[in-house]
Amino acid sequence: MQLNDRPYLHWRQGMSIQDVIDERNFIYPKLVVKLNGKLIRKEDYAATLVAEEDDLKIHHLLAGG
Amino acid sequence: MIRICDVKKYHGIPAEELKRMQDAHVELTRITYDHKPIHRGYTDKYLTVDFSRNSIEITDIDPKVKEVFTGGKGYCLRYLWDEVKPSTRWDSPENAITMSPGPLCGVTQYAGTGKTLLCSISPLTDTPFDTNVGGYFGPLLKFSGFDGLTLKGTAKEDVILVIDGNKNTISIETAPLEHEDAHVLGEELTYMYADDENDRKNVAVVCAGSAAKYSNIGMINFTFYDPNRGVVRLKQAGRGGLGRVFRHKNIKALVCKFSGVKADLNDPYDISIINQVGKKYHKEIHDLDNLQNGMRKVGTANILEVMDAYDILPTNNFKFGSHPGIDRFRSTVFIEKYLTQGAADGCWYGCSMACAKAADHFKLKTGPYKGQAVCIDGPEYENGAGLGPNCGIDDPEAILELNFYCDTYGLDTISFGTMTAFIMECYEAGILNKEITGGLELNFGNWEAALEMMHQIARNEGFGQIAGQGVHKMKKIFVEQYGADAQFLEDIGMEQKGLEYSEYNSKESLAQKGGYGLTNKGPQHDEAWLIFMDQVNNQIPTFEDKAEALYYFPMFRTWFGLLGLCKLPWNDIVPANNSETDEPAKVPEHVQNYFDIYYGITGKHLDTPGMLRMSEKVYQFQRIFNIRMGKGLRKNDAIPYRSSGPVTEEEYLSRQERYDGQLVDLVGFTKEQVAAMSLQEKMAETRKYREAEYEKLIDAVYPRRGWNLNGVPTIERVKDLGIDFPEVLEVIEPLQ
Amino acid sequence: MKRVVKDDSLCIGCRQCEAACSKAFYKVEDSAKSAIRITEKEEGGYEITVCTQCGECAAVCNTGVIQPNAKGVYMLNKKECAGCLMCVGFCPLQIMVQCDDHLEPSKCTACGLCVKACPTGAIRIEEA
């Protein structure tokens, strides 16, 4: 699985987007999540599973003040 | 949780005390002026005050200047250029402080529209240094009839400048009895010049503080009156040491008084569009702030624990990126225990983002105001991070007290934090000891010693006299007087161009190393803040991508400074559908809001290329101004290694898995080779790689910015932008 | 506390309340300038939206120009108001009035003119 265009070494069968967010400790609230280019809404993070060949992007909207 | 409805109003100042102080004023000069009404955001009038001659002069702003420099920071730089010579230093009599609010400044219907820009030759960098600040002075100055103000010369004794925008008078007065510290002085002058309680919101004060006189990190405070608390609040023109210039001129304060703030004072071309955009934005904040950054609850400090979680929070002089004590000072602690909730904390009308938080009736434990219950503005993220974990401090009350004293003494919290962190590392490394510090045990975490050092700066005594000079000058002193290893200090001293770094650990983001290093005025994050985009999101992986970001963002962000706007409302909240847009990182809807407001005020349409071009004229002019002052070349863009990689074994070992992995993944060694290397070899290879990457970054960024490889703007680019004035060409022609 | 209270089930959608409100404060019959709003419900019938005097508009104001009077009605002081429109954006019912020919917004003062205009008693003044 690719996370933000880098190989994600901790992928395991059955993991959801929320699992990735938790494992990576992505605590920032303003995220833009795309799975294989498709936008995933916050309410669907837990139910959306990530397959081994998937391309997952979790972009933080944080550009400083 | 403390709610605004439960906060007792602050005591004012007795009238007889005010009278005694005012009776001691001696008026040195006074003028009455014609008040030219604002047209489409501009007065086109400029005010120049020479304190050596007690002269007050009002001139017309050349339409050509308006066309090229727009306003705000553009005006500040243009007018400063004309006052100074290449040999001018911060304390030269001809050095000036220029200020300008910008054409959109004073809009009341949108958030973050009250910014004033300031510029002067800095005691830290010896170059023109711009800084921006909220508070009411800039908008009231414009409503009083002026698009800009130059303060020059040196008064013989402490004076104040008083502008009354309703009576149209300007005077210079002595002010011998008022106190020097900002939270007292701001209040004294607000009360003194207000007709009554209701009029206090119409008085704005600019003042420094008792330490600004002695320290290169001196800062200038801008006030606004908070009627809900009954107290004068402070916002800071923080960076670059401009407070020292201000006090060196013996300016004690500026006062601007103007009543009658209304939504149409900028003479908008189309007020309707501004109203619509404003209402939409306020509703967005109302609906979404709670779900996003919580700016109304805790301001920018909402990211303290975020930076910690991503290993970016500077800890122990930027050695590490997280602090084990984060739970003691995470933003929720400030929300639950210290910062008053539910208050209208905007630093100008219409700021629904309201990030200017305050802790009320906080009882101080040290210093001249020990035992008093005060209102503390902040902490903002930078203050929390710089005064806290970067100094190894995790006590939230210590952070608040350090924040309070920095503000009232007129010291930049960011420079103070980074500078104290440097001192603490030097102390722990044995370069400093108790004999040198006069007994201060400046270990990481010792907040009492940090505070006492600050009190010493304000009293101009002891080790405070050394500390107050800033990291750049301290490095020299420590080498020459205390035998420190010069290379070690170059590596760990987190300053560049003379300015202390702001509070993000950039080690793992090459783009942010550029965001700090390839700047006009030094390592602040006012130009480009790319850590997340780069390190976490990996959105700009190639040198070309990074160069593009290091072109776009500095230009985009410069624009706010030209117009008199705050950057926070741009992206500290985003519309609900922002993630569905093409470029979420740029927050397209909010950019369009700015174009709409610009049109609403000026009647002129603007788009992204036009915006970037508007900024670039000023950005390149500033670069050339730096070169004129003997800086601004490639060699000045070098960065300390602490900002780029692990200087010490302790740092390397703390993130060994990461660094070892990078030697394989990025540098090209095999795992076996890395396993066979000594720690010193691994550190040397890591350094070699990271330093080479930074040079490659420079090679990519300079051409994108229209510079040659020495960092000098090309004549072609300067001509294209229409800033090819003879005095500009004179600077760059020999360096082509 | 004095305020206008409503019973949606009695509303017949005649909009006399809106007309009375906008005429009183803006001298025109224009529902966009009324501090009471009638909307048709999808399922039929009408919804009346009217200020509950919750005070959120006052809390968001940086200069305290909206203050409750002795009866708990939040009154906007137009002379002191800078027209920042934060109160308009923060009104939970989005029922404050902003129109471009006036610099300041306006809000329900519980004056009762809408109540007098209502033929069915769907709205009334409550004083508790």
By the 8 A CB rule, do B152 and B172 touch?
A: no
* Chains touching C (3+ CB pairs < 8 Å): B
Say yes or no: A32 contacts chain B, CB-CB below 8 A: yes
Does residue B272 surpass a pLDDT of 80? yes
How far apart (Å, rounded) are the C-alpha atoms in residues B608 and B600?
17
CA of A14 vs chain B CAs: smallest distance (Å): 23
User: How far B261 CA sits from the closest chain C CA (Å)?
Assistant: 5
Using a 10 angstrom Cβ sphere, with 0-12 exposed, 13-18 middle and 19 or more buried, the burial of residue B3 is: exposed
User: Per the CB < 8 Å rule, is A64 touching B539?
Assistant: no
Looking at the partner chain, which of C63, C83, C89 has a beta carbon nearest the beta carbon of B282?
C89
The verdict on a CB contact (< 8 Å) between A29 and B529 is: no
- Residue A62: the pLDDT is 85
- Of B191, B192, B259, B262, the C-alpha closest to B225 is B191
* Among candidates B305, B571, B572 on the partner chain, residue whose Cβ is nearest the Cβ of A27: B305
From B280's Cα to the closest Cα of chain C, the distance in A is: 7
Q: How many residues does chain A have?
A: 65
The whole-chain average pLDDT of chain A stands at 95
Q: Where are the beta strands (DSSP E) in B33-152?
A: 45-50, 55-60, 96-100, 116-121, 128-133, 148-152
Angstrom CA distances, C77 to B351, B725, C3, C90, stand at 19, 52, 18, 18
Output the pLDDT for position B706.
98
Please report which confidence band the pLDDT of residue B412 belongs to, taking 50, 70 and 90 as the band edges.
very high
Give residue B224's pLDDT.
98
Q: Considering only the beta carbons, identify the residue of B201, B346, B352 that sits closest to C89.
A: B352
Query: Is the pLDDT confidence value at A64 over 70?
Result: no
- Within 10 Å of residue B679's Cβ, how many Cβ atoms? 11
B180 has a pLDDT exceeding 70: yes
> Of B457, B440, B438, B460, which is closest to residue B449 (Cα–Cα)?
B440
Which chain A residues are closer than 8 Å to B539 by Cβ? 4, 59
Q: What is the mean pLDDT of residues C76-95?
A: 98
Amino acid at B620: Q
What residue has token string 């040659």? Answer: B708
Average the pLDDT over B265-293 and give the result. 98
**Mean pLDDT, chain B, as a whole number?**
97
Q: Is pLDDT at B312 greater than 60 in this prediction? A: yes
- Domain segments of chain A: what residues? 2-60
pLDDT, one tens digit per residue, over B714-730 is: 999 999 999 999 999 99
The pLDDT of B436-462, averaged and rounded, is 98
CB pairs under 8 A between B and C: 76
CATH topology of domain B13-257: Aldehyde Ferredoxin Oxidoreductase;  A, domain 1 (3.60.9)
What confidence tier does B150 reach under pLDDT thresholds 50, 70, 90? Answer: very high
Question: Under CATH, to which class is B289-500 assigned?
Answer: mainly alpha
Q: Of A39, A21, A4, which Cα lies nearest the Cα of B578?
A: A39
How far apart are alpha carbons B388 and C16 in whole angstroms?
61
pLDDT, average across residues C61-65: 94
pLDDT tens-digit readout, C13-32? 999 999 999 999 999 999 99
Domain ranges of chain B: 13-257, 289-500
Residue C97 has pLDDT above 80, yes or no: yes
* Any B CB within 8 A of A42 CB: no
Secondary-structure breakdown of chain C: helix, strand, coil percentages, each rounded to the nearest 5: 25, 20, 55
Which amino acid makes up residue A28? Y
User: In the structure, do chain C and chain A come into contact, i.e. share 3 or more CB pairs under 8 Å?
Assistant: no
Which residues of B lie closer than 8 Å to C, measured between beta carbons? 4, 108-109, 198, 201, 226-228, 261-264, 271-272, 275, 278-286, 342, 344-346, 349-352, 354
Contact between B157 and B54 (Cβ < 8 Å): no
Q: Give the mean model confidence (pLDDT) for residues B624-649.
A: 98
Phi-psi region of B272 (alpha: psi -120 to 50; beta: other; left: phi over 0): alpha
Distance from the C30 Cα atom to the nearest Cα atom in chain B, whole angstroms: 17
> Do the chains contact at B525 and A62, CB–CB below 8 Å?
no
* C→B interface, C-beta within 8 Å: 59-64, 80, 82-86, 88-90, 94, 98, 100, 103
Q: How far is B107 from chain C (nearest CA, A)?
A: 8
Q: Residue C89 and residue B283: Cβ atoms within 8 Å?
A: yes
Q: What separation, in Å, do the N-terminal and C-terminal C-alpha atoms of chain A show?
A: 33
CATH topology of domain A2-60: Ubiquitin-like (UB roll) (3.10.20)
CATH architecture assignment, domain C2-127: 2-Layer Sandwich (3.30)
pLDDT for the residue numbered B525: 86
Q: Which chain B residues have a beta carbon less than 8 Å from that of C80?
A: 198
Q: Do C63 and B349 touch (CB under 8 A)?
A: yes
B235-251 pLDDT, tens digit per residue, is 999 999 999 999 999 99
Query: How does pLDDT run across B324-339, given as a tens digit for each residue?
Result: 999 999 999 999 999 9
Interface of B with A (CB under 8 A): 291-293, 300, 303, 305-306, 309-310, 381, 525, 529-533, 536-539, 541, 553, 567-568, 571-572, 574, 578-580, 584-585, 587
With cut-offs at 50, 70 and 90, classify the pLDDT of residue A63.
confident
Give residue-wise pLDDT tens across range B583-625: 999 999 999 999 999 999 999 999 999 999 999 999 999 999 9
Nearest to B287 by CA among B577, B553, B582, B538: B577
CB contact under 8 A, B278 and C89: yes
CB-CB contact of B101 with B139 (8 Å): yes
pTM above 0.95, yes or no: yes
Q: What is the residue extent of each domain of chain C?
A: 2-127
Q: What pLDDT sits at residue A65?
A: 55
pLDDT of B40 higher than 80: yes
Q: pLDDT tens across B357-404, in order? A: 999 999 999 999 999 999 999 899 999 999 999 999 999 999 999 999
pLDDT over 70, % of chain B: 100
